[in-house]
């Protein structure tokens, strides 16, 4: 079964064709990063307008790369939430128009379930159940994937998402947007023990996260140094901050897996590109005897192939949408 999928929840305009939820035939991604960079973050209205102008061409690209016509596609998958409402509606309108005009099934996909499903593309043998650390621009979740349709959130951030913290700290250090890749790079040149930033574990028996206290600690450090007229080494700040985030993410994930007796863990979302997170999670999972999977970076950040993978599992489990499918900015995981 070949599903054409569309992802426009934020600032990537992406169209993919995925076969049977596992095989990428094409995954075209147009990133608007250059456009939003000068504003220091994504401007929703500008994102929507760019989706409108670019999406038709990207659909054409995906079809021409695979030498397919729309008539040869079996179904249309589309992200319907969570995300920016204007941005979501662009992809959704296109998906509905294609599904209606060709009389093909329309399948709504939860963006975060899509991030998790990126693992199915990278690892064709991987099957639930497994525990996933989802860390992205807007989410930090520990999700137990019981089967292809049952997602249980065991922990979540009570304030900022991990990616949001990376983006904010990058901005104050002058590294710009998006912050994650910039901090990752700068941290390689810095000393991760240089500044003792707090590790926020909250109640140790809980799997929730909090990053706003760490963010304030970094800002206080920077302001304090400025007031004392002392020099700041941005690479040291980046390295120390990154270590404070990663240590908590890794410890909570491993503790949670042990607690629920789950020996398979995955990572998903843009922050799972982070090189220190990949390295430390690999080491700690090995020590604990857990298997670990995470996709290539291009499948961790926003892309339509992950939406096509999840759309397939929705479809074969009877979860098909109709033309009343709407964009839902705050769509909860496990709901449609
Ligand atoms: P969500 O999926 O929660 O709706 P989003 O779609 O904006 O949010 P993603 O595309 O999954 O998020 O990921 C983007 C985030 O990943 C950004 O916050 C970015 O800074 C972060 N990121 C990307 N690469 C890295 C990296 N190497 N290290 C840390 N963070 C990274
Ligand atoms: Mg993006
Ligand atoms: Fe995302």
Kindly list the structural domains of the chain, giving each domain's residue range(s) and its CATH number in brackets, ordered by start: 2-116+299-316 (3.30.420.40), 128-295 (3.30.420.40)
Confidence of residue 203 (pLDDT cuts 50, 70, 90): confident
Q: Is the ipTM of this complex over 0.95?
A: yes
- In percent, the amount of the chain with pLDDT more than 90 equals 95
Buried b (16+ CB within 10 A) or exposed e, 313-326: bbbeeebebeeebe
Among protein residues, the one with the nearest Cα to ligand 1's atom 5 is 137
The encoded tokens of residue 205 equal: 């028996």
Average pLDDT of the chain, as a whole number: 96
The rounded Å distance from CA 73 to ligand 1 centre is 30
pLDDT at 308 over 80: yes
The rounded Å distance from CA 139 to ligand 1 centre is 9
Partners of 158 in the beta sheet?
Answer: none
**What local confidence, expressed as pLDDT, does residue 331 receive?**
96
Buried b (16+ CB within 10 A) or exposed e, 275-288: ebbbebbeebbeee
* Closest ligand to residue 177's CA: 1
- In percent, the amount of the chain with pLDDT more than 70 equals 99
**What local confidence, expressed as pLDDT, does residue 40 receive?**
87
Average the pLDDT over 302-319 and give the result: 98
| The dihedral sign for the CA sequence 240, 241, 242, 245 | positive
pLDDT at 204 over 90: no
Nearest to 172 by CA among 214, 229, 130, 127: 214
Q: What is the pLDDT of residues 85-124, one digit of tens each?
A: 999 999 999 999 999 999 999 999 999 999 999 999 999 9
Average the pLDDT over 172-196 and give the result: 96
Confidence of residue 281 (pLDDT cuts 50, 70, 90): very high
pLDDT at 223 over 90: yes
> Is the Cβ–Cβ distance between 59 and 94 less than 8 Å?
yes
Beta-carbon contacts of 330 under 8 Å, excluding residues fewer than 6 positions away, are: 81, 82
| The dihedral sign for the CA sequence 272, 274, 277, 280 | positive
**What local confidence, expressed as pLDDT, does residue 334 receive?**
75
**What local confidence, expressed as pLDDT, does residue 113 receive?**
98
**What local confidence, expressed as pLDDT, does residue 201 receive?**
86
**What local confidence, expressed as pLDDT, does residue 336 receive?**
66
pLDDT at 45 over 80: yes
Q: Which atom of ligand 1 is nearest to the CA of 112?
A: 2
The rounded Å distance from CA 44 to ligand 2 centre is 12
Q: Which atom of ligand 1 is nearest to the CA of 162?
A: 18
Mutual orientation of helices 275-288 and 234-259 as an angle, nearest 10°? Answer: 30
pLDDT at 288 over 70: yes
Q: Is the CB of 79 under 6 A from ligand 1?
A: no
The rounded Å distance from CA 9 to ligand 2 centre is 9
Mutate to test the pocket of ligand 1, among 137, 157, 298 (most ligand atoms within 8 A of CB): 137
**What local confidence, expressed as pLDDT, does residue 202 receive?**
80
**What local confidence, expressed as pLDDT, does residue 177 receive?**
87
Q: Is the CB of 111 under 6 A from ligand 1?
A: yes
Query: Is 52 annotated as ligand-binding?
Result: no
pLDDT at 136 over 80: yes
Nearest to 162 by CA among 256, 55, 271: 271
**What local confidence, expressed as pLDDT, does residue 330 receive?**
95
The encoded tokens of residue 28 equal: 């075209």
Q: What is the pLDDT of residues 15-40, one digit of tens each?
A: 999 999 999 999 999 999 999 998 98
Average the pLDDT over 160-178 and give the result: 94
Among protein residues, the one with the nearest Cα to ligand 1's atom 13 is 270
């Amino acid at each position: 079964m070949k599903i054409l999928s569309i992802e426009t929840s934020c600032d990537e305009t992406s169209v993919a064709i995925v076969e049977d939820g596992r095989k990428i035939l094409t995954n075209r991604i147009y990133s608007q990063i250059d456009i939003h960079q000068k504003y220091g973050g994504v401007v929703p209205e500008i994102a929507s307008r760019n989706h409108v102008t670019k999406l038709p061409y990207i659909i054409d690209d995906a079809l021409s790369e695979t030498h397919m016509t729309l008539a040869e596609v079996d179904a249309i998958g589309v992200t319907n939430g969570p995300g920016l409402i204007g941005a979501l509606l662009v992809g959704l309108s296109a998906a509905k128009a294609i599904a209606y005009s060709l009389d093909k099934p329309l399948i709504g996909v939860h963006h975060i379930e899509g991030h998790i499903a990126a693992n199915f593309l990278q690892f064709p043998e991987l099957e639930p159940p497994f525990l996933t650390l989802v860390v992205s621009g807007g989410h930090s979740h520990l999700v137990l994937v019981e089967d292809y349709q049952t997602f249980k959130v065991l922990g979540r951030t009570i304030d900022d998402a991990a990616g949001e913290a990376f983006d904010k700290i990058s901005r104050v250090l002058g590294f710009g947007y998006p912050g994650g890749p910039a901090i990752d790079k700068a941290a390689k040149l810095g000393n991760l023990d240089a500044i003792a930033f707090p590790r926020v574990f909250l109640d140790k028996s809980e799997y929730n996260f909090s990053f706003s206290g760490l963010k304030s600690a970094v800002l206080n450090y920077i302001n304090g140094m400025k007031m004392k007229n002392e020099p700041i080494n941005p690479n040291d700040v980046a390295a120390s901050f990154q270590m404070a985030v990663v240590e908590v993410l890794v410890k909570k994930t491993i503790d949670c897996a042990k607690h629920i007796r789950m020996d398979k863990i995955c990572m998903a979302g843009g922050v799972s590109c982070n090189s220190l997170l990949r390295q430390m999670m690999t080491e700690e999972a090995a020590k604990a005897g857990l298997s670990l999977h995470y996709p290539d970076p291009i499948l961790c950040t926003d892309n339509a192939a992950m939406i096509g993978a999840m759309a397939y599992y929705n479809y074969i489990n009877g979860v098909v949408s109709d033309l009343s499918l709407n964009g839902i900015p705050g769509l909860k995981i496990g709901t449609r």
